[in-house]
Amino acid sequence: MSKDRNIRLLALYLPQYYPFAENNRWWGQGFTEWTNVGKARPLFRGHYQPKVPADLGYYDLRLPEIRQEQADMADEYGIEAFCYWHYWFGNGRMLLERVFEEVVDSGKPDFPFCLAWANHSWEKKLFDKSGDNTLLIKQEYPGTEDHTAHFYYLLKAFKDKRYVRVNNKPFFMIFNPDEIPDIEQFIDLWNKLARENGLEGIHFVAQLRECTLQKPEDYLKKGFNAVNMDRKKDFYNQHISFQYKVYLKLFRTFYRMPNVIDYAFASRYFTTDEDKDIHIYPTLIPNWDHSPRSKNSGFILKNSTPGLFAKHIREVCENVKDKPEEERIVIVKSWNEWGEGNYLEPDLKYGRQFLETLKRTIDDFFNEERHE
């Protein structure tokens, strides 16, 4: 741990804020995440769109100054590290690697980081709902040779003093653990390579997004050290009746409306007592609005406010408070997913209120715990 913090907050970080050749070819010259963000419009009365960045503006992540400002801001409000999304498609093929490579190579910002492997294919509709299912780049798993090359590509980062460690092992999260056909062998191989290269192993984390169906123990048996429970849609699977689901579908189809749920309702199910398990890392979700990417077929949590976020934070704190400090890890979803309306960075409506709420609520909770 880099500092004495009450909770180890690892904030998911999207690097897609600079143009590169593939995106220019697939979605138009100069395309970045800001392209969709800037085009977003309200889809119903009271819908907060477009969401406009405040302090950092429509930034370009090729600028080291921006990366430093982000790190300083995150540190100020209690974020331990950025967890960069990492895109390795197999056979050495990567996308969006520039930002992380520059952070590692330059040594700046001097702020902790780790990686989450976004192991999924890209289709034309991924960042443009008017697109089709045309496959742009396929996620592949060629086998041991590619897994080995992948490890050695990341070894410099794993050895970096800034890299987040859990029990002295570099933290590495996998977005789609079920997609890797030889996952047990993959984990064994990387742990073996890590030990051969002076590390104690890798702290593997499986991200689970179908939490009512996926069982943490199944992933621990495969060699994962922990799981991250992303319960963003748990309310839908468990707490909405079949009849109401049918009504929602008909309503959306007839009125061409997105799937809109009140944040106050959905956030009640973002964390559960299951998150008290030392091997389970809960997720903090301040907001969500996928309409910049998916327009009227998206999923939106409406009326997310700093006050409701504070309630969610306290519930997460309650579930992790008794864990050892080293494993008191919470995944923040997300630092800067503006195209999904899922961010902590300041915007024109709320400024820094979500960040201020995050720090104040956690500090107050643990101060109260210490004085009980």
Residue type, 180: I
pLDDT in tens, 231-261: 998 777 777 777 767 777 777 777 678 888 9
Model pLDDT, residue 250: 78
This prediction's pTM: 0.96
CATH number of 8-370: 3.20.20.80
What is the pLDDT at residue 211? Answer: 66
Write down the pLDDT at residue 172: 99
CA distances, 165 to each of 191, 224, 278, 299 (Å): 14, 15, 16, 34
CA distance 132 to 287: 27
Provide the pLDDT confidence category of residue 130 given band limits of 50, 70 and 90: low
Q: Are strands 283-284 and 329-332 parallel, antiparallel or unpaired?
A: parallel
Average pLDDT in the 265-276 region?
95
Domain boundaries, the chain: 8-370
pLDDT (0 to 100) of residue 129:
65
> pLDDT digit string (tens) for 167-210?
999 999 999 999 999 999 999 999 999 999 999 999 999 999 88
SS3 assignment, position 131: coil
* pLDDT at residue number 32: 98
Predicted confidence at residue 43, as pLDDT, reads: 94
pLDDT tops 70 at residue 79: yes
